[in-house]
Amino acid sequence: MGIPFSQVPTWDDRTPIYVISVAAQLAGMHPQTLRQYDRLGLVTPSRASGRGRRYSAYDVAKLRYVQHLSQEEGVNLAGIRHVLALQSEVEDLRKRVNQLLAEVQRGVGASKRSTGSRVFSAGPAGDVIAMGRQQTTTRWIRTQPLELGPR
């Protein structure tokens, strides 16, 4: 009868499925070029249990991008490594921003649902003090005029 569809494994674009010869053919490169890029850390594939390289669709797209930068844009391999590192950092930062935005949205939603609102005040040293609902603050009144210095 087979396994139910819900238990069929799914693949995304980062699932390592291609051996080096297939990945090289899909990227339009020689397998030795892929090995060189792996040694340089430009495109690092996953490893199978027998230590063979396994490339994902994402890796193949990255290989094509590296080839584009090298051949059409004239970027050397050190420059490509730098470009890829910066793009990775931007991707990580975007993920972090999205996480923080989600946290803020959850916080805003929680504050709208709560019955009490929070009130803050500034203390005498400029620090922020959370106030209770019925709490009052001591008013700090300057008794001496503020000196602005020589004119």
Q: Which domains does the chain have, with CATH numbers?
A: 1-112 (1.10.1660.10)
Would you say 34 and 18 are in contact if contact means Cβ atoms under 8 Å apart?
A: no
pLDDT of residue 136: 62
> Tens digit of pLDDT for each residue in 92-147?
999 999 999 998 888 766 655 555 556 777 777 777 777 766 666 555 555 556 56
Alpha helices of the chain — where are they, by DSSP H?
20-27, 31-40, 57-71, 77-113
Q: Which of 26, 8, 120 is nearest to 67 (CA)?
A: 26
* Confidence grade of residue 6 (pLDDT, cut at 50, 70, 90): low
Q: How many whole angstroms separate alpha carbon 101 and alpha carbon 50?
A: 43
Q: How many whole angstroms separate alpha carbon 147 and alpha carbon 143?
A: 12
> Tens digit of pLDDT for each residue in 45-76?
999 888 899 999 999 999 999 999 999 999 99
pLDDT of residue 132: 66
pLDDT of residue 105: 86
